[in-house]
Structure formats: structure tokens, C-alpha cells
């Protein structure tokens, strides 16, 4: 019974991923935890770059990329667009991949000119280049 209870968050994340929905955000708060479920937004298709990443990033990101970006990179762009102050650890938790893989994807997105870091690691923020 406890085993099943402990795997609930993983099952929720897997369900959202399998349905093509943004993965909920789980945060520890004082006496429990908070779950944030995001509204579905149309993301950049890995097959057809140029489709929207959220409403704001949209076609401009697709035009700049000129090549395919991965699903994880799409999710990173989406979450950075929603919260410029999000960090790699939070992204790893939301997307469900390691912090190291998030950092690798951030580097690739920076190299493509899609994002840039403004300010220091602590106290700075991300900017999505449109």
C-alpha cells in the first residue's frame, strides 16, 4: 500500500506526459506540498518548427531555430517563458529529467540563440529571445 502511495507522483507525471500535457509542478510547502497544473498550450512541434511555443514565443522562436528542437527543449522554453526566474533544479523536477540534462539543454538553447541568461546565476533571470 505504501509503495503504491509513494509512486503516485511518478504515475501522475507519466500520465501527463503520455497525454501530451504540461507536467504539473510539485513543491514542498510548510506542512505538505503544492501541485500546480498548467493549462495546455500548443508547443513547438518537433516535426514542424515554427508552430507556437505558448502564445508569446510562437513563430519567432520557430524562425530562429531553423532546425528541430527536442520535446524537453520545448518544455524548457515553455517554462522559462512562464517564469523567467526558474532554475535548473526546478526545471528538472517539472520536466522529469536530471539537472545535468537540463543544463545541457539550456546550453544548447543558448548556443542556438533562443535564450540568454541575464545577470548572475543567483538573482539573475532567463530571457527568451523572440
Span 84-106, pLDDT tens digits = 999 999 999 888 889 999 999 99
Domains and CATH numbers, the chain: 1-39 (no CATH), 41-130 (1.10.10.10)
- Output the CA angle 93-95-97, nearest 5 degrees: 75
pLDDT in tens, 62-71: 555 455 788 8
pTM of the model: 0.52
More confidently predicted of 66 and 75? 75
Higher pLDDT, 89 or 15: 89
- pLDDT for the residue 101: 94
- Provide CB contacts within 8 A for 20, sequence distance 6+: none
Amino acid at each position: 500500500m505504501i509503495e503504491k502511495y509513494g509512486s503516485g507522483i511518478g504515475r501522475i507525471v507519466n500520465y501527463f506526459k503520455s497525454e501530451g500535457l504540461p507536467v504539473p509542478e510539485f513543491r514542498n510547502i510548510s506542512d505538505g506540498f503544492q501541485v500546480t497544473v498548467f493549462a495546455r498550450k500548443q508547443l513547438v512541434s518537433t516535426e514542424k518548427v515554427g508552430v507556437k511555443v505558448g502564445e508569446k514565443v510562437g513563430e519567432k522562436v520557430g524562425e530562429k531555430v531553423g532546425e528541430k528542437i527536442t520535446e524537453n527543449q520545448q518544455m524548457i522554453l515553455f517554462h522559462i517563458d512562464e517564469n523567467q526566474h526558474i532554475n535548473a533544479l526546478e526545471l528538472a523536477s517539472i520536466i522529469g529529467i536530471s539537472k545535468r540534462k537540463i543544463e545541457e539543454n539550456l546550453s544548447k538553447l543558448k548556443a542556438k540563440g533562443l535564450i540568454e541568461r541575464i545577470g548572475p546565476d543567483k538573482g539573475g533571470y532567463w530571457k527568451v529571445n523572440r
